[in-house]
Amino acid sequence: MMRRVPPVSDQLRALDSARWRIAISLTVAMTVVYVGFILLIAYAKPLLATPVTDGLSLGILLGALVILAAWLLIAVYVRWANRHYDTAVAAIRRGAGPR
């Protein structure tokens, strides 16, 4: 399945680094949010039991916010990928000419 490919250009290498930087930063952000939530559950039970209003504890509020954070991080990635990444890939492809 291997075939000859042109050497990876500097432009592609730069795009590659940018993609992985974004991917890893966002993965780390999700991990921090989620593991932080679990650590609060494990070590700060009374804090999470604090009522925010009638019927809403801080724990339930933060739990719903973790789900919102997952949505938000995905939205950040999709926005970046649609606006910058796709156009950059298309530009490099045009620059490389038909293969």
Partner 1 sequence: MNDTAQPNIIAMGGFVLFIGLSLVITWVAARRTTSTEHFFAAGRSITGIQNGLALAGDYMSAASFLGIAGLVALSGFDGLIYSIGFLVGWPVVMFLIAEPLRNLGKYTFTDVVAFRLRQTPVRVASAIGGLAVVAFYLIAQMVGAGNLIRLLFGLPYETAVIIVGVVMLAYVLFGGMLATTWVQIVKAVLLLGGAFLLAMLVLLKFSLNPLALFAEASRQYGAAVLAPGRLVSDPLDAISLGIALMFGTAGLPHILMRFYTVPDAKTARVSVSVATAVIGAFYLLTFILGFGAMVLVGQDAIRAVDAGGNMAAPLLAEVVGGQAFLGFIAAVAFATILAVVAGLTLAGAAALSHDIWVSVVRGGHASEREQFVVARLSTVLLAVASIVLGIVFKGQNVAYMVGLAFAIAASANFPALVLSVFWRGLTTRGAQASMIVGTIATLLLIYLSPTIQIDILKQPTAWFPLRNPGLVTIPLSFAVGIIVSWIAPEPDAARRFSEVEHRIHFGD
Q: Which residues are CB-neighbours of 12 under 8 A, at least 6 positions away? A: 92
> Does position 14 bind partner 1 by CB under 8 A?
no
Q: Report the nearest approach of partner 1 to the CB of residue 19 (Å).
A: 8
| Token pair for 7 | 């050497």
Among 10, 53, 97, 98, binds partner 1 (CB under 8 A): 53
> Does position 12 bind partner 1 by CB under 8 A?
yes
> Does position 67 bind partner 1 by CB under 8 A?
yes
Q: Report the nearest approach of partner 1 to the CB of residue 66 (Å).
A: 5
For the range 23-30, what are the long-range contacts, defined as Cβ-Cβ under 8 Å and sequence gap of 24 or more? Answer: 23/77, 26/73, 26/76, 26/77, 29/73, 30/69, 30/70, 30/73
| Token pair for 31 | 């991990």
Q: What are phi and psi of 5, to 5 degrees?
A: -125, 150
* Residues found near partner 1 in the complex (CB under 8 A): 1-3, 5-8, 12-13, 15-16, 19-20, 22-24, 26-27, 30-31, 33-35, 37-39, 41-43, 45-46, 48-49, 51, 53-57, 59-60, 63-64, 66-67, 70-71, 73-75, 77-78, 81, 86, 89, 92-93
